[in-house]
A = this chain, B = another copy of it.
Amino acid sequence: MYRTHTCGELRLANAGQEVTLSGWVQRVRDKGALIWIDLRDRYGITQLFLQDGVSDPKLIEQARSFGREYVLQAKGTVVERESKNPNMPTGEIEIKVSEFNLLNASKVPPFTIEDESDGGDDLRMKYRYLDLRRNPVRRNLELRHNMAILVRNYLSNLNFLEIETPFLIKSTPEGARDFVVPSRMNPGEFYALPQSPQQYKQLLMVAGFDRYFQIVRCFRDEDLRADRQPEFTQIDCEMSFVEQEDVLNTFEGLAKHLFKEIKGIEFDKFPRMTWHDAMKYYGSDKPDIRFGMKFVELNDVAKGKGFGLFDGAELVVGINAEGCAEYTRKQLDQLTEFVKRPQVGAGGMVYIKYNADGTFKSSVDKFYTADDLKKFADKFGAKPGDLMLILCGPAMKTRKQLNELRLEMGNQLGLRNPQKFAPLWVIDFPLLEWDDETQRYYAMHHPFTAPKPEDEYLLDDPSKWGEIRANAYDIVMNGSEVGGGSIRIHDRVLQNKMFHTLGFTDEQAQEQFGFLMGAFEYGAPPHAGLAFGFDRLCSIFAGADSIRDFIAFPKNNSGRDVMSGSPAPLAKEQLEELEIKLDLKDQKA
C-alpha cells in the first residue's frame, strides 16, 4: 500500500498514529540539526520532520538527497507541531519520519511549482504537466469537474437525457470552417468534425427524446483569435413542446443552481434586455451590467450649435463617468488615444467635466455655453464631480466604439469586479445579418432559427429582412456571452422559405440539410434549444479572463500543442493508405 492517508487529511486528532504518505517534495528546509520536508499531493501538503541525533542518520542522508518534485513514500508517526501553522489544514501536525522510499527522482523543473510561478507562458505550456501541478491551475480543473457534475445531475433530474452524438459527421459548408477527416474505407470521401451537434439534437427531437443534453466537444477550424481554441466544449441542450419562456426558465434555473452551489450566491430573476436595447444602451449584444454608465443619446442637445463634427454625425452618444471630473489632461489624452486605436477606431472623443464647483470644462467650450453644457449634464443625470465622455459618427459604429470606452472606464474605476456576477438574457436578436463582402444575408444564429411569429410576414419583403426579429436568445454574464439558442423552425415550408432567404437553391439546401429536412416530414415537434460555452462558463465562475487555464491541454494561437508537438507530418504510408497527397502552396511557389 502506497499510503494510508493523503497529504491533506491528517489533523491533531491523528497524533500518535503510524501513517504512510506519498507525494511530491515541495521543498526541503535543512537547518542543520533539523530538516523539514513539505510533501505535496493534490489534497494538500504535510510537513515531514527529521532531527539530527534523533532520526536514523541514514534517513537524514536520504532526506538531504531529495530535490524538488522528487516522488516519495514516507512512513512515520503523526506528532503535534511545536509551532503550528494556522494557514494550513494540516498545520497542527507533522510526521516524524521512520522510513523513506524514493519512488521516483525528478530533474530540476524548468519553473517553480508555486501559486505564482516564475515560468513564462510558453514554458508553462511546453511543460503543461508541471504547470498543472500548481494549485491555481488544478483548482480550475476541479471547478470544471464540479460544474460538469452539477450540470449533469440538475438536467438529469429534469428528465433531460445525455445522448452522445457522432463526431465523424457530414461536412456542412454553412457557417465556420469544418475540420475534416479523410475516410480510408471510402477513398476520396471525408468526414467532418462537428462544429456543434445542432442537426443531431434536432433529429433527437424528431425522434421524440423530448429533452436532450450533452457536454460535448466541438470543433471549428477558424483563424484563432486570442482565447479561441480549435476544440471547445459545449453544454448542448434541446427541448420539445416548449416556447421561449420555457427554455429561458429552464436554463436560468440551471445557471442559478450553479451560482448557488459553486459561489453561494442566490439570484432572483435574471434581467432581460432586447438586442435592440442592448445595442442602444451598451453598444454590445453582451453588455456587462455589473456597472451602469448606460449610453445617453445627445443629438438634440449636441446639434445645431455650430460644432461640425456633431452636426454632421448620425449619432452623438456618451457615457457619464461618475466622480471623474478630476481626471487630468494626461488621463483624458490617454482615453482619446484609447478610442483612436485601430481596434476601437473612433475619430476622437469629446469630454465635459462637471466640476465640483458646478462649472463646466469641456473640449468643445468654443461651441457650447455653460447653459448648453448643463443641458448635456441633465440628459446624463450628471452631478458636479462627474465626467461626460462623448463620441459621434455613424450610429452602429459609434455605439460599438463607445462600448469599448465604457468597458475601459469600468476597468479604470474598478467596476468590473470578477467576483461580482451579473447574468442577463439578451433576447429578440435579428434573424438575419447582412454581409457586405458576399452581398447576402446570413443567419445570425443558424439557418434553423425561427423568426418571431409576428415578424414572419416580413420574409416576403426583402427590403425588410434586416428588421426581422428571431426567437433567439443569449445568456450573458459579466459582458461575456456564455450561451445562446433559439426556437427552431419545425415546419418545412417555413424552413424552405428561410433557405431561399439565405440564397440557397433547392439543390443546395437539399444537399446540405436534406436528411434533416427529410426527417422533418415525419412529424417534427415544436422544439428549441440552447448551448452554453462550457470553457467560458467555467472561467467566469472562477473570475478569470482566459479560458485556456480551464482546459487541461490547450492549444496555442497557431492551433499547436507545443507539449506533444502536434500537429505533425504524417508518414508517407499513412498518406498513401488514405489516398491523398500533399499539395503545398509554398513548394509550388
One digit per residue, 1 when the CB lies within 8 angstroms of any chain B CB and 0 when it does not, for chain A 513-531 equals 0110001111111100000
What is the distance, in angstroms, from A1's C-beta to the closest C-beta of chain B? 7
* Interface core residue of A133, A192, A208, A566 (most chain B CB under 10 Å): A208
Task: Decide yes or no: A522 and B183 within 8 Å by CB, A2-B242, A567-B190, A580-B582 being known contacts.
Answer: no
Task: Decide yes or no: A70 and B523 within 8 Å by CB, A181-B180, A188-B584, A553-B200 being known contacts.
Answer: yes
Contact present for B565 and A138 (CB under 8 Å): no
Which residues of chain B are within 8 angstroms of A581 by Cβ–Cβ distance?
580-581, 583
Which A residues, 96 to 127, have Cβ-Cβ distances below 8 Å to chain B?
103-107, 109, 127
Contact present for A522 and B2 (CB under 8 Å): no
Contact present for B189 and A552 (CB under 8 Å): no
User: Does A480 interact with chain B (Cβ within 8 Å)?
Assistant: no
User: Does A206 interact with chain B (Cβ within 8 Å)?
Assistant: yes
What is the distance, in angstroms, from A89's C-beta to the closest C-beta of chain B? 16
Contact present for B553 and A166 (CB under 8 Å): yes
User: Does A33 interact with chain B (Cβ within 8 Å)?
Assistant: no
What is the distance, in angstroms, from A385's C-beta to the closest C-beta of chain B? 50
Contact present for B184 and A552 (CB under 8 Å): no
Task: Decide yes or no: A184 and B177 within 8 Å by CB, A522-B109, A523-B104 being known contacts.
Answer: yes
What is the distance, in angstroms, from A191's C-beta to the closest C-beta of chain B? 5
Contact present for B138 and A71 (CB under 8 Å): no
User: Does A481 interact with chain B (Cβ within 8 Å)?
Assistant: no
Which residues of chain B are within 8 angstroms of A558 by Cβ–Cβ distance?
185-186
Docked CA distance A520–B524 (Å): 54
Contact present for B170 and A568 (CB under 8 Å): yes
Contact present for A208 and B41 (CB under 8 Å): yes
User: Does A3 interact with chain B (Cβ within 8 Å)?
Assistant: yes
**How many residues from A make CB contacts under 8 Å with B?**
128
Which residues of chain B are within 8 angstroms of A515 by Cβ–Cβ distance?
563-565
What is the distance, in angstroms, from A142's C-beta to the closest C-beta of chain B? 6
Contact present for A132 and B208 (CB under 8 Å): yes
Contact present for B42 and A210 (CB under 8 Å): yes
What is the distance, in angstroms, from A480's C-beta to the closest C-beta of chain B? 20
Contact present for B180 and A574 (CB under 8 Å): yes
Which residues of chain B are within 8 angstroms of A209 by Cβ–Cβ distance?
42, 132, 138, 141
What is the distance, in angstroms, from A366's C-beta to the closest C-beta of chain B? 52
Give the B-binding residues of A (Cβ under 8 A). 1-3, 6, 22, 24, 40-43, 69-71, 103-107, 109, 127-130, 132-133, 138, 141-142, 144-145, 148-149, 152-153, 156, 161-171, 173, 177-193, 199-200, 203-204, 206-210, 217, 219, 221, 223-224, 230-231, 233, 240-243, 246, 490-491, 514-515, 519-526, 551-553, 555, 558-561, 563-571, 574-586
Q: Can you identify 17 A-B contacts, CB atoms within 8 angstroms?
A: A40-B208, A104-B524, A106-B521, A107-B521, A107-B522, A130-B207, A132-B204, A133-B207, A153-B153, A164-B551, A170-B564, A170-B566, A171-B566, A171-B570, A177-B577, A179-B191, A579-B584
